[in-house]
Amino acid sequence: MKHVFITGATGAIGSALVPLLLAEQDTQISLLIRAKSQSDLEGRLQGMLHFWGIAPSDQALSKRLMALRGDVSVPCFGLTPDSYDRLTKETTHIIHAAANVKMTLPLEAARASAVTSVQSILALAESCKSYGVLSKVDIVSTVGVAGRTAGLVPERPMPEVKRFHNTYEAAKAEAEKVVLAQWRKGLPITLHRPSMVVGDARTGKIMHFQVFYHLCEFLSGRPTCGLVLRAQDAVLDIIPVDYVVRAIHWANVHPDTAGHIFHLCSGPEDAIAIPTLMAKVRDFMRASGISLPRLYPIPLTVFRTLLPVMALLTPPRVRRALYTLPLFLDYLAEPQTFANVETQKLLTPTGIRVPPVDTYLETILTYYHQARSVSSMNTLASVEA
């Protein structure tokens, strides 16, 4: 019987991947979830079941899910010896999708999240291999391991990169080196490097609204009274979460993909220009009845200088978001795109194709704005109560 151990099931990628695993009728799934207590673990699992559309009464599906309270960044995940021993003897497939995506962590904290967690995953994989049960390991990295590399980023190991935008990238690049060392020793590993992950191309659904959605707010001009970045040559590589998880799932059931690095991204041909994205976001908002200010595009250096002033003139929620904007602006310092030709050679024959941005942009924006509206209504209701 297939038994999958997966980390990051409560994250954007992992939460979209679990339903694909559940669609395999005989697959057992162990979810490693951080929780303060057993009751907290059960509450988080119930929330995930709701997100997946699984009724608590659906015993057939629920019985195939085992939630384990643990931490991927500590030895043996902090599990009891019996629980860990059972994993080593039963786990046939491993998917490591857990990540702390904060880009401002001290380097040691970022390493503890990225590098130590990978070491724990590889230790489990080695134990499973020693028992003769291991079939495949899939590890989610990021295109950010290319750091400040300008131009087209290749689909290969990049040990030569020394300069990074932030500690998140640096730690992920170090984690890849650890993975590649075990890869060369014969562990059946596929590395996956997603770009900026957005909602499902068909429904817009996603567990967490990440950087892209906050960026769209800024591009609308609303938080900054119309002051926006003049970025005529800048492009953004975004990718729907359903494409990412279909690729990971396919690789996980095909051991012959071991030794490959998948660039799960739109690629240089389909990355969207920032001015185009700005226009489409504003068109969407106008069509939704949202009032927008006139735009005043300013150069990057001037925009960066004015950010602290703009932050002081905005509400606290917007102010917190504005303080994180320099992290994104830093990515515009180098013209950078991501190759995906080799990845597409493997995936296209399976029907897993990169969807053009125009086919899903309105869908993901609609889901985001509907979710925000519901959240605002719930907040208002709780205040009135």
Vertex 165, ends 10 and 342: CA angle to 5°? 70
Give the span between the Cα atoms of 212 and 199, in whole angstroms.
Answer: 10
Of 188, 225, 236, the C-alpha closest to 337 is: 236
Close Cβ partners of 191 (under 8 Å, ≥ 6 residues apart):
139, 141, 176, 179, 180, 183, 260, 261, 262
| 78-126 confidence digits (pLDDT tens) | 999 999 999 999 999 999 999 888 888 899 899 988 999 999 999 999 9
Whole-number pLDDT of residue 272: 95
Q: Which of 13-27, 157-171, 211-225 has the lowest mean pLDDT?
A: 211-225
- Which residues is 193 bridged to in the sheet? 263
Of 252, 262, 232, 241, the C-alpha closest to 338 is: 262
**Better-predicted residue by pLDDT, 154 or 303:** 154
Give the span between the Cα atoms of 135 and 121, in whole angstroms.
Answer: 14
- Look-up of token digits 């024959």: 349
- Cβ–Cβ < 8 Å for 175, 114: yes
Structural element, H or E, at residue 363: helix 361-384
Give Cα 195 distance to the centre of its chain.
Answer: 8
Give the span between the Cα atoms of 206 and 253, in whole angstroms.
Answer: 24
Q: What is the pTM of this model?
A: 0.93
Judged against a pLDDT cut of 60, whether residue 283 lies above it is answered with: yes
Give Cα 127 distance to the centre of its chain.
Answer: 27
Whole-number pLDDT of residue 104: 83
Whole-number pLDDT of residue 101: 85
Give the span between the Cα atoms of 339 and 325, in whole angstroms.
Answer: 26
Whole-number pLDDT of residue 338: 97
Whole-number pLDDT of residue 223: 84
Pick the CATH number of 3-205+237-269+336-355 from 3.40.50.300, 3.40.50.720, 3.30.160.270, 3.90.1150.10: 3.40.50.720
Give Cα 286 distance to the centre of its chain.
Answer: 29
Whole-number pLDDT of residue 383: 33
Helix ranges (DSSP H) in 95-223: 107-130, 167-184, 211-220
Of 165, 143, 137, 174, the C-alpha closest to 156 is: 143
Give the span between the Cα atoms of 192 and 249, in whole angstroms.
Answer: 11
Token pair for residue 297?
């595009």
Q: Are strands 238-240 and 28-33 parallel, antiparallel or unpaired?
A: unpaired
| 37-66 confidence digits (pLDDT tens) | 999 999 999 999 999 988 877 777 778 899
Give the span between the Cα atoms of 227 and 302, in whole angstroms.
Answer: 10
Give the span between the Cα atoms of 50 and 43, in whole angstroms.
Answer: 11
Give the span between the Cα atoms of 152 and 380, in whole angstroms.
Answer: 47
Token pair for residue 99?
């990540």
Residue 20 CB-half CA count within 13 A: 21
User: Collapsing DSSP states into helix, strand and coil, what is residue 68?
Assistant: strand
- Cβ–Cβ < 8 Å for 128, 86: no
User: Collapsing DSSP states into helix, strand and coil, what is residue 69?
Assistant: strand
| 354-382 confidence digits (pLDDT tens) | 999 999 999 999 999 999 876 543 433 33
Of 199, 194, 348, the C-alpha closest to 266 is: 194
- Cβ–Cβ < 8 Å for 166, 104: yes
**Better-predicted residue by pLDDT, 345 or 298:** 345
- Cβ–Cβ < 8 Å for 230, 71: no
Q: How confident is the model at residue 5 (pLDDT cuts 50, 70, 90)?
A: very high
Give the span between the Cα atoms of 353 and 355, in whole angstroms.
Answer: 6
Percent share of the chain, pLDDT over 70: 97
